[in-house]
């Protein structure tokens, strides 16, 4: 039966106000750790900490593991070693490695002497692999059998295991004596096969694997591509050293997608829950790109000054009037270019992130984007020319033909340029080993704004004559 959330929150808040840890078993008797964790999320951080300090180490650790990662990291340093040791012991191995980032190195090493020896040895082995690699994401808890094991024996192995022994029993890995992966058995095949059939006869002898040094994102995409619930990991000698499960892969992909979205919006930093960030952290994440874009906008101002500002005092005549009219269309033109560039950048960055296109596909991408940009530019150019030239009230502005032609030609040229920049910069970044998301939409928009003005005024110079 589910605990009443409102009543539980009040009980937890009352427990947080207690000076001595005497009521934990009575107040929370029969309440599941998942429900306690959900209730704690309605409390302030200091209240969460006091509640966990009142609980016994085992209960506190089980509650802590049910909390969102950001909440757990915010308070884990303030908890006693006994609680953190229990927490470290029951954490999945990849999460245990991440906990090291939150703790003092000496404290983390001391905790490894408290938890079971085999778990500590596994953590140290995983730490020996490169950061961000499959080796640090995998777990060594998987079901393995010999090629001569019968299906009856395989099922017996599964029956004798507990939920904590293995990450999954959906796949059973057939290993040789020197731990080379010979094949994979699915639980469905084991159940349907004859009891005395041997593993070598039933297994899939061509399993898909990943090397231990492959990056986390590549591993996650491989698992997603084939739809597996787990992927075997091999060392450089071809020996099986662990598995990576689909839930870990999903977390990696979600985090990568979140980071890409943030970068596309010009926000730096890792993917973390919004409410877990302080005002100072949000400030630090947003300021760098805004400063870069602010400086880049000086370029836009310089272009305006070159074509307009330096002549305003020297040519108080018809040319000045023409320049003044040209300024009226600047928001329209740079807005269209910036939006077009932002659309293309977002589309190409997503396609690169999902592996739908590669750097080698740049020509195909360029051809497609230019074709689309030509069509869009033609439509916008016609509409821009029509509205500028027509004298219909509300619909048109009734400007001279030559000025209308400037707007009509500038729009498709700027859209074409925006499509070129928006598609090629992310691909170039990928080729150079830079995250394509760094070519964020605000950066592309700012760049296209400045260069689009040059295109606009150069076309105006050709049609209207010299502006100075």
Instruction: Check residue 319 and give its pLDDT.
Output: 58
Domain 143-263 in CATH 3.10.580.10: yes
Q: What is the DSSP string of 335-373?
A: HHHHHHHHHHHHHHHHHHHTTSS-GGGHHHHHHHHHHHH
Q: Per-residue confidence at 106, pLDDT binned at 50, 70, 90?
A: confident
Task: Please give the residue that has the higher pLDDT: either 327 or 405.
Answer: 405
Under 8 Å between Cβ of 467 and 311: yes
Under 8 Å between Cβ of 342 and 444: yes
Task: Please give the residue that has the higher pLDDT: either 165 or 268.
Answer: 165
- Determine if residue 227 is left, alpha or beta; phi over 0 gives left, psi from -120 to 50 gives alpha, anything else beta: left
Q: Would you call 212 helix, strand, or coil by DSSP?
A: coil
Q: Is the pLDDT of residue 293 over 60?
A: no
Q: Is the pLDDT of residue 11 over 60?
A: yes
Q: Is the pLDDT of residue 168 over 80?
A: yes
- Residue boundaries of the structural domains of the chain: 5-128, 143-263, 281-464
Q: Which segment, 53-57, 267-271, 379-383, is predicted with the most confidence on average? A: 379-383
Q: Per-residue confidence at 274, pLDDT binned at 50, 70, 90?
A: very low
Instruction: Check residue 291 and give its pLDDT.
Output: 57
Question: Is pTM beyond 0.95 here?
Answer: no
Q: Which segment, 106-110, 165-169, 228-232, 340-344, is predicted with the most confidence on average? A: 228-232
Assigned CATH class of 281-464 = mainly alpha
**pLDDT tens digit sequence for 180-223:** 999 999 999 999 999 999 999 999 999 999 999 998 888 988 88
Domain 5-128 in CATH 3.40.50.720: no
β pairing state of 230-234 and 210-211: parallel
The whole-number average pLDDT for the span 288-315 is: 52
Instruction: Check residue 195 and give its pLDDT.
Output: 92
pLDDT over 90, % of the chain: 16
Rounded to 5 degrees, what are φ and ψ at 44? -70, 160
What does the alpha-carbon distance between residue 6 and residue 145 come to, in Å, rounded to a whole number?
49
Q: Per-residue confidence at 50, pLDDT binned at 50, 70, 90?
A: confident
Fold: same for 5-128 and 143-263: no
**pLDDT tens digit sequence for 24-45:** 556 666 778 888 888 888 888 8
Q: Is the pLDDT of residue 301 over 70?
A: no
């Amino acid at each position: 039966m589910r605990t009443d959330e409102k009543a539980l929150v009040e009980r937890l808040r009352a427990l947080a106000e207690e000076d001595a840890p005497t009521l934990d078993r009575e107040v929370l008797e029969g309440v599941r750790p998942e429900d306690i964790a959900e209730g704690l999320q309605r409390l302030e951080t200091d209240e969460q900490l006091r509640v966990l300090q009142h609980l016994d180490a085992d209960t506190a650790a089980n509650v802590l593991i049910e909390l969102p990662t950001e909440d757990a990291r915010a308070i884990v340093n303030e908890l006693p070693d006994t609680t953190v040791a229990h927490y470290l012991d029951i954490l999945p191995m990849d999460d245990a490695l991440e906990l090291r980032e939150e703790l003092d190195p000496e404290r983390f090493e001391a905790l490894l002497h408290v938890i079971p020896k085999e778990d500590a040895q596994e953590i140290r082995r995983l730490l020996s692999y490169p950061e961000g690699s499959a080796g640090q994401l995998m777990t060594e808890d998987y079901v393995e059998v010999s090629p001569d094991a019968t299906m009856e024996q395989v099922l017996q192995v599964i029956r004798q295991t507990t939920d904590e022994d293995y990450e999954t029993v959906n796949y059973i890995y057939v290993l040789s004596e020197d731990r080379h992966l010979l094949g994979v058995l699915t639980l469905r095949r084991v159940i349907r096969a004859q009891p005395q059939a041997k593993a070598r006869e039933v297994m899939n002898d061509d399993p898909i694997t990943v090397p231990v040094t492959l990056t986390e994102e590549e591993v996650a995409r491989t698992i997603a591509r084939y739809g597996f619930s787990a992927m075997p990991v091999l060392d450089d000698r071809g020996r099986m050293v662990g598995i990576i499960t689909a839930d870990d892969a999903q977390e990696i992909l979600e985090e990568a997608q979140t980071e890409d979205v943030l970068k596309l919006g010009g926000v730096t930093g890792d993917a973390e829950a919004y409410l877990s960030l302080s005002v100072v952290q949000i400030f630090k994440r947003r300021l760098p790109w805004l400063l870069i874009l602010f400086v880049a906008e000086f370029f836009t101002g310089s272009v305006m000054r070159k074509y307009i500002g330096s002549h305003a005092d020297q040519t108080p005549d018809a040319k000045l009037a023409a320049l003044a009219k040209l300024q009226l269309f600047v928001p329209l033109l740079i807005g269209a270019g910036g939006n077009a560039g932002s659309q293309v950048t977002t589309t190409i960055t997503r396609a690169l992130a999902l592996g739908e296109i590669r750097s080698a596909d740049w020509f195909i991408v360029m051809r497609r984007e230019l074709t689309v940009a030509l069509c869009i530019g033609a439509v916008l150019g016609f509409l821009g020319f029509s509205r500028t030239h027509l004298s219909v009230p509300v619909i048109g502005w009734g400007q001279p033909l030559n000025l209308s032609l400037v707007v009509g030609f500038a729009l498709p040229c700027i859209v074409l340029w925006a499509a070129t920049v928006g598609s090629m910069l992310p691909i170039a970044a990928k080729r150079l080993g830079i995250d394509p998301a760094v070519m964020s939409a605000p950066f592309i928009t700012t760049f296209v704004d400045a260069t689009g003005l040059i295109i606009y005024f150069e076309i105006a110079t050709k049609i209207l004559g010299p502006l100075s």
